[in-house]
Amino acid sequence: MLVTISFYLLAFVAIASAMMVVVSRNPVHSVMFLIVTFISAAGLFILMGAEFIALLLVMVYVGAVAVLFLFVVMMLDVDFVELKQGFLQYLPFGFVLALILLAEMIMVGAAYFSGESKKMVKFDSEKSNLERFGEVLYTEYAFFFEAAGLVLLVAMIGAIVLTLREREGVKKQDVSKQIARTPETAIEMVDLESGKGVGS
């Protein structure tokens, strides 16, 4: 019973927060809802007996949210001074989301340690969760795994291209010109008269 309630609660919160990621106009709200989505999905994985995927989701994706937020700030030219001034207005919103996450963690922990969640998935072998995950991922779903890596590579290149700006007045290093320099082009011989310095 506890596992069923936890499952429906986590599924509802994950779907609702995923929709709010797209609907929210404020990038800060979108990032916070994205964190809730990832942690809710991690809770669902724990209930299904996939603890490794759940921890991987939290460590990799929730950690990457900070990088995502950095890209959002870079692309939207958000003023850091203005962002820090409005920090206190996000405290009530963040407090509510923190309470939701705390409730989810308590319910998932109670359901997991009660032993009911382990009855949802039956394993045929005595292999660990990580070994089973590796066998399935790199055999049956190897093509999709490589395709996902390619999509992430394209997304990373797109984010770099979008945030790369040409700025005027910035000195750049041209390695080919430096290597092609000769003593004739690099050194200028000046014949000075006695008692006179080098003028501008």
CB proximity list for 123: less than 8 A, separation 6 or greater: 49, 132
d(CA 1, CA 119): 12
- Report mean pLDDT in 10-residue bins for the chain, 200 residues: 80 88 80 84 83 82 72 64 64 80 80 63 65 83 91 89 74 82 80 68
CB 65 within 8 A of CB 38: yes
The predicted-structure confidence for 60-117, as pLDDT tens digits, reads as follows 887 777 677 767 666 666 565 665 666 667 678 778 878 887 887 787 777 777 766 5
pTM for the whole structure:
0.55
CB proximity list for 2: less than 8 A, separation 6 or greater: 107, 110, 111, 114, 116
